[in-house]
Structures are given as C-alpha cells and as structure tokens.
Amino acid sequence: MAKPGDIIVGLDIGTTKTLAVVGEVGADGVDITGVGEARSKGLRKGVVVNIESTVTSIKEAVERAGNMAGVEIATVYAGIAGSHVRGVNSHGIVSIANHEVSSDDVERVLDQARRISMPLDRQVIHVLPQDYIVDQQDGVREPVGMSGVRLEARVHLVTAAVASVQNVTKCAERCGLHVAELVLEPLASAEAVLTEDEKEIGVAMVDIGGGTTDVVVYVDGALVHTAVIPLGGMNLTNDIATGLRTPVGEAERIKLRHGCALQSMVDPGDSIEVPGVGGRGARTIARQYLASIAEPRMDELFRLVAKIIHDSGYAELLGAGVVLAGGATLLEGTPELAEQVLGMPIRRGIPMGVGGMVEMVKSPAYATAVGLLKYGATRPAKAEKAAAVGRQLLQPQVPAAVQAAAMDPSNPKLGTKFWEWLREVF
Ligand SMILES: Nc1ncnc2c1ncn2[C@@H]1O[C@H](COP(=O)(O)OP(=O)(O)OP(=O)(O)O)[C@@H](O)[C@H]1O
Ligand SMILES: [Mg+2]
C-alpha cells in the first residue's frame, strides 16, 4: 500500500481527451493536487493509432497536471481500453503446503488460474480473484491462515492485444514516463464511481466515452464480466452532423449545448439555430428534431448494453442496477432513456472517495483518471514512487472549465420492463 506523502498519478488516454490526475496519499485517502487535460488526436476507438499525436497529448496533460500539483511526474498508472480487450473467467487448483494456506499458496493458485491457452499476440493484464475454495468451503475471500489440503481460486482474467499494450507503454515512455501498471479503463472507472455495497449487491457500470462503451459487471463484490462496444459519443456527433448537414465540429457544439436523448423530454416549442455552411444562411430547427436523431442512437447503444448484460448470465443478480460513467452520459435524458431500455435503477456516477481538489474532477468524464489514481494508491509498495517529487511550490494553475456533473439520485425501483424487453428481443 502507498504511504502518506506518496504521490500517485493516473493517466487516462481516451479517444477524445487525455487526462492526468495527480494525488497525494494522506492519512485517510488520496487528495487530488493536480489535474491536466489535453485533446487526444492519436486514438481511434480507445486504441493508439498515431504515436506522435498521442505523445503530444500525454506531454501536455502531464505537464499541466504536474505544474498544478507542483511536482515533476515520473511514473503513472495508465489506462488501456479498446475492443481488443477480453474478459474471461478462469479457475486454478493447488495443494496446500503444510496444510495451512500461506500467501505463497495464494500466489501459486492465481498463477495457475492465469495459465489459459491464448494466441501469442495476446497477454494477460489482470488476474482478479473472485473467491477461493479451501477443500469444500467456497466463498472464501481471504484464505491465508485457513487449514486444508486443497486451494482453488475463481478469477476473472482480462487479456489484451500485445501490440496495443506496447503502444500505450511506448507513448508514455517517449514522454519520459515509467508505467507502474496498465489498468483496464472500465475497472478504473468502477473504482471511482461504484460503492462497495453496490459491488456486493450486484451492479453493472457502463462507461460511454467518445469512441467506446465499456461494460463491467460486479456480483458478490467481484468483477465477473467485461465487454467493450466500439461505439460512443463521437458516433452520435457524426449522426447529428449528417442529420443537420453541418460540419462535425458544429454538430459537437450543438450536441453539447442542446442535445437530449429523449424526444419526450424536449418542449415542442424549443428551437435551435444551426449555422449555415458554404455561404448558406443559418437555419432554425426544432430541438425535438435534434432529439429525434439522438434518441435512436442512444437507444441502440443501451440495447447492446442490455444484450451484453443478458448474455453475461448475471442480469438477475444486479440488485443495484446500472451506474453510468463517461462524458457521453452527460447528454440530457441519458439516465431516463437507459432506465426505459434496461428497466433497472440507473444513476450517473461521479468520481468519489477522494479529497483535495474534488470540484475539478466532479464529472463522469473524469471517472477513469480518478479511478486510476485510486487504484494506484492501493497497489503494493514497488510502484509507490509514482511521481518523482521535486516539489517546487508552484502556484496552482486551475484550468478554464471543468464540466460539472449533473448528479442524479438513483431511481430506487427495479422495473420489469427490462425482462419484458428481453423476452421480446431474444
Ligand atoms: N454535456 C454533454 N452532452 C453530451 N455529450 C457529451 C457532453 N460532454 C461530453 N460529451 C461527450 O462525451 C464524449 C467524451 O467522453 P469521455 O471524455 O468519457 O471520452 P474518452 O475517455 O475521451 O473516450 P473513450 O473512453 O471512448 O476512449 C464525447 O463524445 C463528447 O461529445
Ligand atoms: Mg474514457
């Protein structure tokens, strides 16, 4: 575990933005001391496709965060995502030396569980224990010290394409950064927005970013399912650009300012102005027309999420419903639409469980970066020198605008609509 005074840095290299968040470990948690953001240009659907552009974004974000925190950043916990990522449940068995489980036995059984047959171009990035079985006793969370002869472990393995892993590491290293660990982005987001109770009761976290939608499912406190859908907020922007016959940059601005995921939530009298292109004059359109473009796209996305949850086999165990993260969930009406499609309680998740400059990270778009920081703070000592200190007592430089999160209280009722819909579709 990190010690008070240690500096940890989370680096989220997203499809639309790169974010670095610096935190200092205190007596009861991590305090955010710096946040730096830069536009990402070198990624497609969560995956690095242009090293030079990605390096530029990382340098900018890290420099801004370092300046604000007054530290020189040397080591980061970096996120990895994309549809090359796969999650699979696995299992290991070993005999217990000396009839009492030691930490060596736990290491051996996890090592065995990670040995699955895999193509050479893939590698394991996480071995996440779900529970242990000592002889016949299952559901054991902490087996060390228990008596028995046979130790089994159930784990969730996350694997990724070697080339994608190497490209993220390469970009960070070109910026002079050491990557302490690469962490699956939705795992980090979940770390930031889910409560331990929700993970125990059963919950799905859906992170809708610019290029991808990531889904992770927790049951009985453990990660049991991971999936990636290669669609995100940029697809909606493209639909709006086509539907309104306007450039993508303008469509993005219109989406952010006037977008709504549900037509029924928009006042029929509301209108918006669409600037003309190529010398044509501006047009006025009904805001409901904009929502009529957004609703089918978001509806389609949540139907894919519903299918993933259904196919995972854990749908009936999600008593805590679904928590939304990622910038695209800031679209007005998104939780309401998600509830209609999924028929489960939905809440927007904003990063929690950190102190310091929390106002700067109060948005679902910051979930991954804050989660990476929180993840880093719980890791063993080897990675603790996350940032070389070199404090210079710089004046904090607060960046212009940080999106404030619209945090809605979750809807407590677990609807039946989800099941009706599944029956209809499958
Ligand atoms: N207020 C808003 N309304 C609608 N969409 C929004 C809003 N704010 C941000 N977005 C959308 O959120 C998306 C960016 O989200 P986020 O920052 O989580 O993505 P990312 O981490 O860069 O991408 P990814 O996780 O897919 O690699 C963009 O498509 C942007 O248009
Ligand atoms: Mg993201």
pLDDT for the residue 381: 61
- Ligand at minimal distance from the CA of 16 is 1
For ligand 1, whether the C-beta of 294 sits within 6 Å is: no
The conformation of residue 259, written as its DSSP 8-state character, comes to: -
CA 14–ligand 2 middle distance (angstroms): 5
Under the banding of pLDDT at 50, 70 and 90, the label for residue 394 is: very low
pLDDT of res. 2: 84
Q: Does the pLDDT value for residue 373 go beyond 70?
A: yes
- The Å distance, Cα 13 to ligand 1 centre, comes to 13
Average the pLDDT over each of 64-68, 86-90, 235-239, 398-402 and give the range with the smallest value: 398-402
Q: 210 CB under 6 A from ligand 1?
A: yes
264 against 2, higher pLDDT: 264
- Quote the DSSP letter at residue 57: H
221 confidence band (pLDDT: 50, 70, 90): very high
Domains of the chain and CATH, by start: 86-158 (3.30.1490.110), 196-349+402-426 (3.30.420.40)
On the question of pLDDT at 385 being above 60, the answer is no
Quickly state the pLDDT bin for 143 (edges 50, 70, 90). very high
> What is the mean pLDDT of the segment spanning 329-343?
98
Give the residue, by CA position, lying nearest to ligand 1 atom 25: 209
Counting DSSP H helices and E strands in the chain, the numbers are 11, 19
Instruction: Give the model's pLDDT for residue 280.
Output: 82
Mean pLDDT value of segment 159-178: 98
Ligand 2 mean position, distance from CA 146 (Å): 41
**Which of the ligands is closest to the CA of residue 17?**
1
Given a cut of 60, whether residue 351 has pLDDT beyond it is yes
- pLDDT confidence of residue 414: 32
Q: Is 160 in the pocket of ligand 1 (CB under 6 A)?
A: no
Query: Is the predicted pLDDT of residue 386 greater than 50, yes or no?
Result: no
Question: What are the percentages of helix, strand and coil residues in the chain, rounded to 5?
Answer: 35, 30, 35
Report the predicted TM-score, pTM, of the whole model to 2 decimal places.
0.89
Q: Which atom number of ligand 1 is nearest to the Cα of residue 403?
A: 8
What's the pLDDT at 277? 79
- CB neighbours of 168 closer than 8 A, spacing ≥ 6? 13, 48, 78, 80, 179, 182
Give the least confident one: 251-265, 268-282, 330-344.
Answer: 268-282
CA of 257 to the centre of ligand 1 (A): 13
| CA atoms of 120 and 200, how far apart (whole Å) | 35
Among protein residues, the one with the nearest Cα to ligand 1's atom 11 is 328
Mean pLDDT along residues 344-351: 97
Task: Tell which atom from ligand 1 comes closest to the C-alpha of 185.
Answer: 25
In the reported structure, the alpha carbon of residue 194 is separated from the centroid of ligand 2 by a whole-number distance in angstroms of: 16
| Mean pLDDT on 323-345 | 98
Q: Determine the distance separating the centroid of ligand 1 and the alpha carbon of 102, expressed in angstroms.
A: 45
Asked if 352 contacts 193 with a C-beta cutoff of 8 angstroms, the reply is: yes
For residue 16, the CA-to-ligand 1 centroid distance in Å is 7
Q: Is the pLDDT of residue 413 over 80?
A: no
Mean pLDDT of 75-79: 98
- Asked whether residue 1 carries a pLDDT value surpassing 80, the answer given is no
8 A C-beta contact, residue 228 and residue 82: yes
66 vs 394, which has greater pLDDT?
66
Kindly indicate the confidence band of residue 134, based on its pLDDT and cuts at 50, 70 and 90: very high
For ligand 2, the distance from its centroid to the CA atom of residue 191, given in whole angstroms, is 14
From the centroid of its chain, how far is CA 418?
A: 24
Cβ(82) – ligand 1 distance below 6 Å: no
Q: Give the residue, out of 13, 15, 53, with the most ligand 1 atoms within 8 A of its beta carbon, to mutate for a pocket test.
A: 15
**Which of 13, 16, 239 to probe ligand 1 with, by most ligand atoms within 8 A of CB?**
16
The candidate with the shortest Cα–Cα distance to 299, out of 265, 262, 324, is 262
Euclidean distance between CA atoms 299 and 262, whole angstroms:
9
